[in-house]
Amino acid sequence: MARKPAKSAARKPAPKKPAKAKKATAKKAPTKKVKTKRLKARRAPVKAAARKVAPKSKKTAPRRAAKSSVKAAASAPRPSSAAKTTTGAEAPGFTLPTDGGGSLSLSDLKGRPVVLYFYPRDDTPGCTVEACDFRDHIPDFSGVNAAVIGVSTDSVASHDKFKAKYNLPFTLAADENHAVAEAYGVWVEKNRYGRKYMGTERSTFLIDADGKVAKVWRKVKVEGHAQDVLAAAREQ
């Protein structure tokens, strides 16, 4: 009968084990919460800093857009002249500086035929061939009392060099602001290797003694052009 209390005493310590497990789990739980709170606390300043930086990009965006629009406007080619001088029309008058420091007005040549030819640039291959072709036919043009005038957007100094280099015996006029080219409708949009720009379309106008346009050649092919113009001048 004395052995019964010993068994009950041995059974009593057993419930203590789950109590320890509860305590252990209770201690671990707060550590996870603390970690998440710390992570949130660290991330919060980063988000706040990102929010502060964001408005700067909004402020700079309109400036960049404005700059790009200015560049596009500057690089965009100007529209070509709407009005083109045609056969039978009154030749637009002009006064331009010429090689040698002189000046020329179309009205000064009234009473005789005038060959007014527009070319893109001094001392370039096609323009040189055309100028030399007119040079070689100057005696024939003089025979029909026709004046030959070459016009480009080059300066007077450039004309002086071009004229001296190839011994050109006719006047070269400097239309630097291309106002005369626009008046005759030869200042046009060009496309070279995909690049668009404004320039002079190679063209020739034969003006009769009364100041009217007798014939027009546009997009001139330089080979044999002077002979064609001479033939038309002889008919005036």
CA atoms within 13 A on the CB side of 169: 11
Q: Residue 219 pairs with which residues in a beta bridge? A: none
| Single-letter amino acid, residue 229 | V
- DSSP letter at 81 equals P
Long-range CB pairs of 215-224, under 8 A, 24+ apart, other chains included: 215/87, 216/85, 216/86, 216/87, 218/186, 220/117, 220/130, 222/126, 222/129, 222/130, 222/133, 223/129
Q: State how far the Cα of 96 lies from the Cα of 116, in Å rounded to an integer.
A: 13
**Active site (annotated) includes residue 127:** yes
Please identify which of the residues 91, 96, 106, 127 carries the catalytic annotation. Answer: 127
Report the distance separating Cα 172 and Cα 104, nearest Å.
Answer: 10
Which residues, 6+ apart, have CB-to-CB distance to 128 below 8 Å?
Answer: 166
Kindly list the catalytic residues.
127
